[in-house]
Amino acid sequence: MIDEQTGEQRRGSFWRELPILLGVAILVAVLVRAFVLQTFYIPSPSMEHTLNVWDRVLVNKLVYDFREPRRGEIVVFKAPTEWQRGTEGEDFIKRIIGVAGDHVVCCDAEQRLMINGHTLVEPYIYKDDKGNPDPPADEPFDITVPKGRLWVMGDHRSASGDSLEHYQLKQDLQEATIETDSIVGRAFTIFWPVGRATWLSVPEQFDGIPEPAPAK
């Protein structure tokens, strides 16, 4: 037999505690968004077809507190002032091609990027409706990534405002690269739309790239 008075007390206790529970849930959500995970949507075609316009990705904001960014990872970062197009503090998303000290060259005899003397095959580069891929770069270049900075490029090379585009404008490596500290986090999965959900893992082609030679 149920004690009606005890039942009423429990219901009353629940409604008194509900605002506290909601407040805690909101606080946890805010802390997670601020320090651990955040969602971003893709507003441009610069990473097609790895990431399509309006895809939504989940970004790990904590990972680079414990290690350095690595080649092949897709990262969200605060755009340098020179890269911004009217939106102060806007975020960009690109793939890391070269880390500090890397010697990045376009191109080898088969028109592929080379990093530290190693040819990089890029299966993720955008292909048109006929299956024709973008070239890795639209003109030759030969650079060494400065200390504390990263060379980043979009997978849709012909539609990406990235390190190569900005290097071509001024031949200035400081403006063409991004600061490691500007990274918001690593995009590690597409979660929407559901039909495109997938992990954004580092392509195996990056595994064979040697470390840069020590500075002389």
Q: What residues act catalytically?
A: 46, 94
Q: How many Cα atoms are found within 13 Å in the side-chain-facing hemisphere of 127?
A: 7
Q: How many Cα atoms are found within 13 Å in the side-chain-facing hemisphere of 3?
A: 4
Both tokens of 192, joined, read 């929407």
> Residues 150, 146, 163, 208: is their CA dihedral positive or negative?
negative
Pairing of strands 56-60, 74-78: unpaired
Cβ atoms of residues 171 and 192 within 8 Å: no
Q: Cis peptide before 49, with omega less than 30 degrees from 0?
A: yes
Three-state SS annotation for 60-115? ECCHHHCCCCCCCCEEEEECCHHHCCCCCCCEEEEEEEECCCCEEEECCCCCCCEE
